[in-house]
Amino acid sequence: MSTFHPLRVTAVDSLTDDSVALTFAVPPELRPLYGYSPGQHIALRRHRAGADTLTASTEVRRTYSLCAPACDEPAELRIGVRGVEGGDFSSYAVKELRPGDTVDVLPPSGRFVLEPRKGRFAAVVGGSGITPVLSIAATLLTREPEARFCLVRSDRSTASTMFLEEVADLKDRFPDRFQLVTALSREEQQSGLPSGRLDEQRLSGLLPSLLSVPDVDGWYLCGPLGLVEEASRALRGLGVPRGRIHQEIFHVTEAPTAPSAARSAAGGVSHSASVTANLDGRSGCWPMDDGESVLETVLRHRADAPFACKGGVCGTCRVRLLSGEVRMERNYALEPDELEAGYVLACQSHPVTEAVEVDFDG
């Protein structure tokens, strides 16, 4: 089971006015544990301001994507962090963290991954959604000489664009295999696309003009919910099978749905639901309080249960449902094939049957 380890910050590089790249040193004995695939992320945690002890209720966790090429035993980890208005963790990371500070970091995870292989791949990203795709593109182009990558990125302006130099470097190193198109919503460019948002209609016209859509082996969509949904609809409209579209949401603006009370199979409220959870080789069975998610119940008894966003976005709390039935409030993390295989998000799951059993290890 993954546990947090304190890692030392070795560099805080300013990327834009409101974003930084953070580098952490990984001690030699932990390096195999922190190996990662291109596109994966790490979860960080900190005390809420004023909290003396670190408990599930006082800590803040956030996931951030790794931006450097993949590595099996990394000596360092580099992530991109953009400050979000009112963002407890991101403000701290952008404004307060300094080299020499220590942060608790979970080993990498996530399934928004492209293992290098021959073929044509493409990405549509918005804002900080470039972060995992930078790792994906750099790893792919460096390791697989017969792979090509097309990146369509959008941002507000040049000044707000993260990893400009790193992306330009890919263009210089792989001029024949890396294609870059930039759309700026609030700034006219001397060359390239006219200003304006990338929406479904625009992407439906743009993508076929850039590359042969049916020949693309995998599409990687990353950024705010709106952009990812528009891009996904555009691709489906162009005939791209769902299985070739991979997506990761960075920001979900609407407020999380309030947890509803546990419901019985008939749709009524059950006051006697229980959850059995296997976690790190140990099992427990606990009654659920009304309205609790599966994760909340488990966390009351097992503080080591994995989670980060609690919002259905990061996928850290993924469990396999072994028996019973749950209803998920929302899901922006699991792909259709994972749902079919019986995975659910513990932070979004409420029981529909009197008893449910989940496996965090599966």
| One-character DSSP codes across 153-191 | EEES-GGG-TTHHHHHHHHHH-TTTEEEEEEESSS--SS
Instruction: For ligand FES, give the closer residue by CB, 154 or 316.
Output: 316
Contacting residue, 41, 62, 310, 350, with ligand FES by CB under 6 A: 310
Query: Do residues 182 and 189 lie in contact, with contact meaning Cβ atoms separated by under 8 Å?
Result: yes
Query: Do residues 124 and 227 lie in contact, with contact meaning Cβ atoms separated by under 8 Å?
Result: yes
Binding-residue total with ligand FES (CB under 6 A): 14
Nearest residue to 222 (alpha-carbon basis) of 315, 151, 140, 147: 151
298 binds ligand FES (CB under 6 A): no
Beta carbon of residue 48, minimum distance to ligand FES (angstroms, whole number): 17
Instruction: For ligand FES, give the closer residue by CB, 171 or 327.
Output: 327
Contacting residue, 151, 298, 309, 356, with ligand FES by CB under 6 A: 309
319 binds ligand FES (CB under 6 A): no
Handedness of CA 314, 148, 78, 12 (dihedral sign): negative
Instruction: For ligand FES, give the closer residue by CB, 170 or 314.
Output: 314
* Interface region with ligand FES, contact rule CB under 6 A, candidates 51-59, 196-204, 254-262, 309-317: 309-317
Instruction: For ligand FES, give the closer residue by CB, 22 or 106.
Output: 106
Interacting residues of 254 by C-beta distance below 8 A, sequence separation 6+:
none
Interacting residues of 3 by C-beta distance below 8 A, sequence separation 6+:
106, 304
313 binds ligand FES (CB under 6 A): yes
218 binds ligand FES (CB under 6 A): no
160 binds ligand FES (CB under 6 A): no
Beta carbon of residue 58, minimum distance to ligand FES (angstroms, whole number): 17
Instruction: For ligand FES, give the closer residue by CB, 258 or 266.
Output: 258
Q: Which two tokens stand for residue 239?
A: 């005939």
294 binds ligand FES (CB under 6 A): no
316 binds ligand FES (CB under 6 A): yes
* Residue burial 143-166, b: 16+ Cβ < 10 Å; e: rest: ebeebbbbbbbbbbeeebbbbbeb
Residues 57-116 that bind ligand FES (CB under 6 A): none
308 binds ligand FES (CB under 6 A): yes
Amino acid at 159: A
Tell me how far CA of residue 350 lies from CA of 274, 324, 362, in angstroms: 11, 11, 19
Beta carbon of residue 311, minimum distance to ligand FES (angstroms, whole number): 6
CB burial of residue 280 (10 Å; 0-12, 13-18, 19+): middle
Q: Which residues contribute to the site for ligand FES (CB under 6 A)?
A: 307-317, 333, 345, 347
